[in-house]
Amino acid sequence: MKVVHTIEELRDQLRGQTRVAFVPTMGNLHAGHLALMRTARQHGDPVVASIFVNRLQFGPNEDFDKYPRTLADDIAKLEAARDVYVLFAPDERELYPEPQTFRVQPPGDLGDILEGHYRPGFFQGVSTVVLKLFSCVQPRVAVFGKKDYQQLMVVRAMCRQFQLPVDILAHETVRADDGLALSSRNVYLSDGDRKQAPALYAQLQRIQKSIHDGVSDTSLLEQQAIQALTESGWQVDYIAVRRQRDLLVPTQQEVSQGEPLVVLAAAKLGVTRLIDNLEI
Ligand code: PAF
């Protein structure tokens, strides 16, 4: 695997390539990321991964400074997995040589709800860096995890509206045996919190089962899940059953007629904010 830190080196490595498959990450790689790279390998050649902790998508009180930066370990994992041909790991001056005053602003009905409501500016930061990374890598396909469901939808909408020649592939969420979605932020969980953490997914599964069993009052299901989590010490930002196609609230009639839904959640356990979702 070639590790490059500048756009010039990246372009040298990729000259003439027309089937690049790309996996953007912020590093601290886990089995979920490695699965994205395996999938990328099935859909293009060569596979390029990036590691860049993007300041633009962190709010002022968020964890940008303490976000785990583990480049040497990440390189070792990628070398061992042998799926990636080029790792692009720019520093901030390389990707943002001047203040990034041009930004991609996602539409409010997609970018300002749910995660966007609790993390103002987050999807603007994500869209802006993803557009920049796409412009550096010029991939044919890019793979994103479904764990960041709304991010996946924002990136897809951006590619559609800007007619970017990139196919966005969605990868299923990779979970630990007890159901916890793998995430770089799981390293913040204390031992006790780690034991509690699968409860979030368990609530999503309860909601999924209730809807499959014919319950159509989704706000009641959301309230019950919020109450159960709050009683066991979580601080819940949202648990929301939405339509898969646009993340709007479904009517009871849509729920009972089998509209494809997704239940999305964000909640804090101790100092760790976890997000997860489940399609219904
Ligand atoms: O999902 C992530 O790790 C980040 O949001 C991404 C897509 C790499 C952009 O910084």
Ligand 1 contacts CB of residue 54 (under 6 A): yes
Q: Please compute the mean of the pLDDT values over residues 37-44 and round it to a whole number.
A: 98
pLDDT of 88: 98
- Could you please report the per-residue DSSP string of 194-253? HHHTTHHHHHHHHHHHHHHTT---HHHHHHHHHHHHHHTT-EEEEEEEEETTT-PPPPHH
- Nearest-CA residue for ligand 1 atom 6 is 25
Ligand 1 contacts CB of residue 26 (under 6 A): yes
CA distance 48 to 54: 18
Q: Please compute the mean of the pLDDT values over residues 153-160 and round it to a whole number.
A: 98
- Nearest-CA residue for ligand 1 atom 8 is 25
pLDDT tens column, 229-243? 999 999 999 999 999
Mutate to test the pocket of ligand 1, among 70, 96, 124, 126 (most ligand atoms within 8 A of CB): 126
- Hey, what are 245's tokens? 């196609």
- Nearest-CA residue for ligand 1 atom 9 is 126
Pairing mode of beta strands 167-171, 21-25: unpaired
CA distance 62 to 56: 11
CA distance 19 to 41: 10
Q: What is the mean pLDDT of the chain?
A: 97
User: Judging by beta carbons within 10 Å of its beta carbon (0-12, 13-18, 19+), is residue 99 exposed, middle or buried?
Assistant: exposed
- Nearest-CA residue for ligand 1 atom 1 is 25
- Counting other chains too, the contacts that 193-196 makes at CB distance below 8 Å and 24 or more residues apart are 193/269, 193/270, 193/272, 196/232, 196/233, 196/234, 196/269
Ligand 1 contacts CB of residue 74 (under 6 A): no
pLDDT of 267: 98
Q: How many angstroms separate the alpha carbon of residue 111 from the centre of ligand 1?
A: 15
Active site residues: 33
pTM score, two decimals? 0.96
